[in-house]
Structure 1
């Protein structure tokens, strides 16, 4: 049976009937808005979450890692890899959309997992994801070194890491709204230049560059030459080897769920971010990967991870065609991209710690923020550890460090995506078990339940696939070193989960009938806090009381 203390008033979903002081029409119901129990400020709007959701994950994984994937799996291998991984994050984004609107919490999916799945799983996910964020910061700083190497090798690696580490720190120490504006500008640059990449890539593949076609076929067009000559490399294992890089390239897409906690009206903002997901997937990853497969040979010595200059395949495309100015501009866009992704990782890691603190899984001091809404106790350790880890690149090659970090991050990401899908499934199950109607949800995913099950299935399967690659790595012999370098993330997750299970001594999963669906929930009036008006047939017949 449904909770009798809750009823539907007009177009408002689940407003407590005993709440005497209802918000003014068009505002959020602060009295019941337990999602705002942190000290974070709700300063961000639709534009911020849409642009951050659209381009926050466009960084080293796409621009540089695609070169390694092309070299290992061939053009068809990398293209199919992005199609598959894109379908997974598209499914995950629908689960994020439905839950982030009702439960816009500081650590989002960590608190969703804690509420709807299991306290121990929430603990493991939270700390695992915090590790993932500082690994990503280190990897993006490593990417900066590779990008700068296209222009000069005179600056020491340690100096480059230090300089750009300070840039990422500067992005995060200002007001939250300043950080969001920086990310919007970076997203605009990335999003705008991808059209240049697509159009120019088509022209160059047709032999329209100053040097005509690819050197392997002088004077001719390239087209799908490499698809015909070498569509797949290294067999099925080669294809499997691109999946960690594809997942790493898409990691960070879930950050829209974290940003929702500091958005003035998630009901207005989050659906836009979810609906724009297909744009990012189709333009950046699918069309972007297709462009490099028809312009760059998988055997090019200059690809990232090969024996040459270790450049981005997008830069190589312009350089080989004789369009040097575009090669330099592309490299500058990549530099902005990796710094942007490093910045959002610092933001995300600090918010994860705020959420863990709210759940009493981290020191309470982690919740403290200053008057500008900056959680210093979460920001400082995330930025310090992430930046410090980047100095591994001083003694090891950039592509080697990238391989370690991307494999570790992709496993953490798959665990996080899987928990998001599982939390969505469990949330809907609890909603039904407690006698509530789907019509009461503020926003419904049209793809549920198939999208959630699709995402969960592939996340579980790919974790198994990565175990296979850790035991029998591509181009190397099985060894304990290779296994832990590639699969340490899963070991860490298992240890965290078992340790939390022993400590909390809880049941296997939370009881659907006992899950608190309203405690952390946010309620919405018909007219949102940003001035937009939700359509309602009943609205004109009901007069909403105002606050005194």
Structure 2
């Protein structure tokens, strides 16, 4: 620990305390020197905000609408297994985020971690690639709005709908940061609350409890897993591989909890809660959610998103087919809120990426500037403008086509980001060990290290290769240069960014473990902040006091 890490106040005097001199004792007051707070962002958010934004950021078009395309292409077993695999990856990534976001709560989080622990060139490539991904996500969510509204009416021109809801996303982001966070908390609560309705009602409908007796009853079949029995996999193993980009896209955004940590008052208390809640989100939304649609909606339903009918969400189709019209409309409204929420979070995250890049000298310094409310205008404006502008591609192309382009591109950026988060965690721990530090000094330790980090890194790498295979030999289409670049342009961009940075930084190798400064961007916590929630007991305090 550096000597400037903790300051102890005794009366009017100030004495430095560190591991080699004075040792903190219970009851004394300490100031935390927060080296990661040298941006102009305000630390106004708390545990509730980071947990709910982490919950809400990945629940958008990928889950509610993209699941329909996946169901058609891979069948019920294919989509279910796809979400399980993708879920294990992001669960692993979340543990790496948790450990690093607590100790290094920086504006662009994983971009700056990569720069510190891996390589400047990799950090440069990751930062600009992720900024591009946030444009694409905003555009994709806006085109998702058009699909959602078409369930009610097709009278409003596509361009008008995009413009109206683009302005809504802009309005959410231009308010005070705390207002933005409160809006996202409400949106997350709506999403989280309604998933219980979906699960319970889906089970009832599958058992024949709906007004029309459920699809199996209408078709003269058996209740329950009829579609699993008839067509568990569609298009074989290639069909299963084809759903992975959509599954990754659906889960993308979960890593945004690392970005929010830079604006929370005490990441040591906030971040672990977000990490520990990850399994709830995965099990409720993705695992059980996908299971519900596979037992209620036929993969051959023409109205599924990407089909020849209304292109509706499989969740909406489930209710409509079983004659529960009110729930179909409510479900569609929840989806509308979800896609707007995810678009808003993407604007927030994209602007913070630029703030962090500016701190690293990889973007203009003006990007760091914020106003008195903590809004980084120089990062917000280009992110929202470009993302909204891209969404107009939907005017001259079908929603499902645009979704395929954007989800494939975003999933590749996401896989690169997840892989670099896990690699940064591995390298951080390696540097910690190489410099003779004890893991007992870490503010929070992931019990899943190192296996989770290696699991996330391995599968992120494998799936990037899988997407190359699908770009060269796409499902239900012929090989062509157009298909390849439409589906794999993200990797081309990453390679160009990386090579360009390598040339600029004169081909430096990965950062030397012994030369990595583990304290320069670190946040040090006072003893009172190290104790949180479940550990805030007299016994724990007494143990701490005796030890020191």
Residue of structure 1 in register with 2:475 after alignment: 474
C-alpha contact (below 8 Å) 2:17/2:23 kept by paired residues: no
Change (3 A) 1:19 1:80: same
**Partner-residue secondary structure (3-state), 1:66:** helix
Report the more deviating stretch, 519-528 or 450-459. Answer: 519-528
Residue of structure 1 in register with 2:267 after alignment: 266
Residue of structure 2 in register with 1:244 after alignment: 245
C-alpha contact (below 8 Å) 1:113/1:121 kept by paired residues: yes
Q: Quick one: distance in 1 between partners of 2:410 and 2:401? A: 14
C-alpha contact (below 8 Å) 1:207/1:220 kept by paired residues: no
Residue of structure 1 in register with 2:350 after alignment: 349
Computed over aligned residues only, the root mean square deviation of the Cα atoms, in angstroms, reads: 2.4
C-alpha contact (below 8 Å) 1:265/1:529 kept by paired residues: no
Q: Confirm or deny that 1:313 pairs with 2:314.
A: yes
C-alpha contact (below 8 Å) 1:27/1:524 kept by paired residues: no
Residue of structure 1 in register with 2:372 after alignment: 371
Q: Quick one: distance in 2 between partners of 1:468 and 1:170? A: 40
Residue of structure 1 in register with 2:280 after alignment: 279
Q: Quick one: distance in 2 between partners of 1:281 and 1:243? A: 15
1:21 is displaced (CA, Å) by 13
1:539 is displaced (CA, Å) by 4.5
Q: Confirm or deny that 1:449 pairs with 2:450.
A: yes
Change (3 A) 1:523 1:479: same
Q: Confirm or deny that 1:205 pairs with 2:216.
A: no
Q: Quick one: distance in 1 between partners of 2:291 and 2:17? A: 49
C-alpha contact (below 8 Å) 2:24/2:527 kept by paired residues: no
Residue of structure 2 in register with 1:334 after alignment: 335
State the Cα deviation string for residues 342-389 of structure 1 (Å, max 9, x = none). Answer: 000000000000000000000000000000000000000000000000
Change (3 A) 1:250 1:139: same
1:538 is displaced (CA, Å) by 5.3
State the Cα deviation string for residues 228-254 of structure 1 (Å, max 9, x = none). Answer: 000000111100000000000000000
Q: Quick one: distance in 1 between partners of 2:491 and 2:191? A: 32
Change (3 A) 1:344 1:271: same
State the Cα deviation string for residues 37-92 of structure 1 (Å, max 9, x = none). Answer: 00000000000001111222100000000000000000000000000000000000
C-alpha contact (below 8 Å) 1:6/1:17 kept by paired residues: no
Residue of structure 1 in register with 2:174 after alignment: 173
For these two proteins, the number of residue pairs brought into alignment is: 537
C-alpha contact (below 8 Å) 2:26/2:527 kept by paired residues: no
1:507 is displaced (CA, Å) by 2.3
Residue of structure 1 in register with 2:81 after alignment: 80
**Gap regions ≥5 residues in structure 2:** 9-15
C-alpha contact (below 8 Å) 1:142/1:161 kept by paired residues: yes
Report the more deviating stretch, 527-536 or 459-468. Answer: 527-536
Change (3 A) 1:120 1:4: closer
Change (3 A) 1:332 1:506: same
- TM-score, scaled to structure 2: 0.94
Q: Confirm or deny that 1:525 pairs with 2:530.
A: no
Residue of structure 2 in register with 1:33 after alignment: 34
**Gap regions ≥5 residues in structure 1:** 544-548
**Partner-residue secondary structure (3-state), 1:513:** coil
